[in-house]
Chains A and B, each alone.
Chain A
Amino acid sequence: MLTPTDRRDAVPTPDALADLLQAVSEARDHAAFAALFRHFAPRIKAYLIRRGVAPGQAEDLAQEAMVNVWRKAASFDRQRAAASTWIFTIARNLRIDQLRHDRDATSAAMPADEDAEDIAHDIVDNSPLPCDHAASAEIGLGVRAAIDSLPPEQARVLQLSFYEDQPHAAIAEALAIPLGTVKSRIRLAVGQLRQRLEYLKS
């Protein structure tokens, strides 16, 4: 029997998350969607705030990200990516889109009307993926173990890259190390991840 605290802290397994996403895709299951919302919406909101989005807008974008999860669920393929990866890319793209949109709104002489906003979002929805995501099921499963095996200073550089609104130059400043060292830590970290995953596959 779960206490309310356990319930809040329990993180669903990758398999459970993929099951939920599949239920949304195949059965348009509202309960499954609610479970995904509980897990991901507060994390997406936190991610957006850390990347410099104002809290009110982060709330709105996190909801929009979940709307996208509902609408695009059919394109999720658990053989190719983990649910968390798939949802992370949705949130990431939404933020890029928002930055572009904000810049457009400030640089445009005419105020953007509702239609223009919708079209701007459609363009991003249709923006081509550079990769026709090759089979990478193995990647999803081993990544956690691979991250955990990294030396702390390498893991830190990865974390700052994804979850702080800082270019690599600012990371160098924050950690008081030269930019070249940030780049070499990234190279080492990525190399280690790759090696570790190769090892897990074989």
Chain B
Amino acid sequence: MSTHHPADDLLLSLAAGSLDRASAIVVSAHLESCTHCCQQLELLEAVGGELLADIEPVDMEIGAFSRTLERLDQPVSVAVAQVPVVRPDLPAGMHWPRSLDGCDITPWKRLGPGMRWSRITVPGDPQANAFLLRMAAGMELAAHTHGGRELTQVLYGAFDDGRDVWRAGDLDDADGEVHHRPVVTAESECICLVALTGGRTRFDGFVARALGAWMGI
């Protein structure tokens, strides 16, 4: 049960189809476990459908309908046998969000003691900056603020950054006005799905900055 939800502007962009792919994956991961936000999204999609009636139509070309009819019976291509997907290990009982289907996910790479990460490559969008962060219980992430917008969906465990505790199912939406130092709570390790848009993370310390630059975040 989530207590931190995506803001309305994110859901509206998702409904309108204008949210960038990295953010869309994170927000969709939230929706998979949040009935409340699903209902919000449906409401906004219904608004999109209603507004379609108001739009000034643009005439289709002559013969468009018969060409469409010809296309109806063309065979639908059958996807070739899928290559088995290799993905990094997860804690027992945790499942991959479906929003990551089709994405390439690297094996866990060590960042430091108790801290690992994995880069996510989004098909058709090489610019998308998304990754997973996996930290052991009690670990803390260096204090930082954000050059752009950082969306974080907690997939497993929980962290506390002084503002609040963010548990599995919660979405954190942080920008340059948020300066925080997330600490994983003592109960278990924590895995987060993160999307960065509009600017890099700005770490306070030199070592963290160097690591961040190396990760490309």
Contacts and interface: CB of A to CB of B under 8 A. Distances in A.
B61 interface: yes
Contacts of A136: 39, 42-43, 46
Given A63-B67, A85-B49, A183-B7, A100 B125 contact: yes
Q: Is chain B's binding surface mostly helix, strand, loop or mixed?
A: helix
Contacts of B207: none
A85 B48 contact: yes
Contacts of B60: 41-42, 45, 59, 62-63
Nearest to B76: A71
> Chain A interface secondary structure, helix, strand, loop or mixed?
helix
Interface residues of B, number: 61
A72 to B, nearest CB: 11
Interface residues of A, number: 83
Interface string B1-37: 0000001110111011110010000011101100100
Given A44-B52, A159-B54, 12 more contacts: A45-B57, A50-B55, A62-B60, A63-B60, A81-B45, A82-B46, A83-B49, A100-B21, A162-B16, A162-B51, A182-B9, A183-B8
Interface of A: 11, 30, 34, 37, 40-47, 49-51, 55, 58-59, 62-64, 66-67, 70-71, 81-89, 91-93, 95-96, 99-101, 103-104, 107, 115, 118-123, 126-128, 130-134, 136, 139-140, 143-144, 147, 158-159, 161-163, 165, 167-168, 182-183, 186-187, 190-191, 193-194, 197
